[in-house]
Amino acid sequence: MTTAPSTSTENPPADTLSPSSTHTTSVGVDMGDSASPEGNKVAVPEGSASTTHTSAPLLGSLNNTRVGDQSESEHDLTTEDGVRSYLAGTPFASTRVETLSGGSANYVYRLWLESPLEGEIQTAVLKHTKPYVREFKHVAFTDERQVFEVEALKRVASWVPKDLLVQVPRVHKFDHGAHAIIMDDAGEGSVTLKEFMKQGGPTVDMAVQIGKGIGEFLGSVHAWGTANRAELEVFQGHTQGKVLGARYYYGRLANFFLGKSGEPKLEDPPLLVDDATLAVLKEVGEETSQALQSANDHFVQGDFWPGNMLVALDKEGQLKRILVVDWEMARIGIPGVEVGQFAAEIYFCGRFHEDVCKETSKAVLDNFFAAYSAKFDVTDELARRALVHFGTHLAVVGPTVGWGPKDISREVALEGAKIIAGGHNAELALLKESAIGGLLNGR
């Protein structure tokens, strides 16, 4: 993902992001349609620089016809020529349209605009969806997922202070009928945080900034969602996101240690655990699957990992901004799961790429935990959920998306199983000594 959103997939992954121009997206079963309220007032998290904003309506076609007038664009937005034709005669008319690499679910393009937006914006990103997964057309994936993404982006953008390092892309236009979003571009030189880390891009000081910025951002998002539950009604319909997260992680957790993972690294020979650990994995899988699908209290981004964070540097090579993209999976969920997902991914950087990421991975995590807990109340339950998901991500994702060789992948999966077995009922003292202990340093 290297410019603006689409949704990431480590879920049935295409974890094959190029260092620039990358967008990814989650794949799953149908999710329900949802109405998209306009003009809603959004309260800002406590301590934010601004007060209350009224979000401008974003729905409508490029020609300003009503949404209901256009059930489908007459242009083929699955091709660059079709996109160019679609944009002709609009404020987004482009001299050049380029398909962005990475991801599997959507059609995503960089636009070189004929006339700069607002007098200075030279490029933008267009994201088009179909009611299926782009690379797996037999897999249904409702195109109404864009409604959830736009609603999430406009709400979060309304209160995030503009001087913060971590931002979300602004939506310039949402053509509901054509299933097209036009949004900010992180820039041609932008790179996913995952690739930036793996390439040895950040210094330790820069890693401190990254961890702090992302922790502040995620903590603020969770705090905002908790304080503004009326704003979240639109996301109640995103049942596909709930089902996908539950099935991808917890519906198959135990199978990874029964020789049924489908991952060659884990099946030759089968990666097994003792009966007591296996029983815990089954119990945790069932309980957490149910909890994810019945969650009703908190707003989550839905796929919060470094592949959905685009790092842009200034001319001096210093951090300019980080865009958090791909909000298609934004929904009602469990905050600790997002914390655990991000933490596990940064851990992978140091575990699989120790030569370039050992120090920076630690710096990102330490500062992420501290900044997050300063913005959002970390209960024992949240910490426990974060630890269990950290372990689950190690077990399910670590061996399956090409992070590293077979031997380390198997070690990481077993580490994950051990963390789950020891952490699912952990009390405060043990949580403070665990992989997510930095969340609890103030306790």
Domain boundary among 184, 206, 228: 184
pTM of the model: 0.84
Task: Looking at the structure, tell me whether residues 90 and 221 fall in a common domain.
Answer: no
Compute CA distances 91 → 62, 123, 173, 241, whole Å: 9, 12, 10, 33
Q: How confident is the model at residue 29 (pLDDT cuts 50, 70, 90)?
A: very low
Same domain assignment for residues 177 and 137: yes
Residue 154: CA count within 13 A, CB half-sphere: 27
What are 193's two structure tokens?
A: 């945080």
Mean pLDDT along residues 66-88: 76
- Retrieve residue 192's tokens: 């996913």
Q: Tell me the pLDDT tens digit for each residue of 85-133.
A: 999 999 999 999 999 876 678 999 999 999 999 989 999 999 999 988 8
Q: Are residue 82 and residue 227 in the same domain, yes or no?
A: no
Q: What is the pLDDT of residues 53-64, one digit of tens each?
A: 333 333 334 433
Q: Summarize the confidence of residues 148-172 as an average pLDDT.
A: 96
Q: Is residue 204 part of a domain?
A: yes
Looking at the structure, tell me whether residues 103 and 180 fall in a common domain. yes
Q: Does residue 188 or residue 379 have the better pLDDT?
A: 379
| Domain membership flag for residue 15 | no
Question: What does the pLDDT read at residue 143?
Answer: 85
Residue 293 lies in a domain: yes
* pLDDT for residue 264 is more than 90: yes
Residue 397's nearest CA partner among 326, 359, 329, 343 is 343
User: Range of 310's domain?
Assistant: 191-440
Helical (H) or strand (E) element with 167: strand 166-167
What single-letter amino acid sits at 323?
L
229 and 175 in a single domain? The answer is no
The verdict on 209 and 175 lying in the same domain is: no
165 shares its domain with 249: no
Please indicate, yes or no, if residue 305 is contained in any of the structural domains: yes
Number of domains in the chain: 2
Residues 268 and 393 placed together within one structural domain of the fold: yes
- Residue scoring higher pLDDT (240 or 372): 372
Residues 200 and 109 in one domain: no
Q: Are residues 206 and 298 in the same domain?
A: yes
CATH number at residue 200: 3.90.1200.10
Lowest mean pLDDT across 6-10, 15-19, 240-244: 15-19
Residue 29, in any domain of the structure: no
CA angle 13, 16, 21 (to 5 degrees): 120
Any idea what the CATH number is for the domain that residue 94 is in? 3.30.200.20
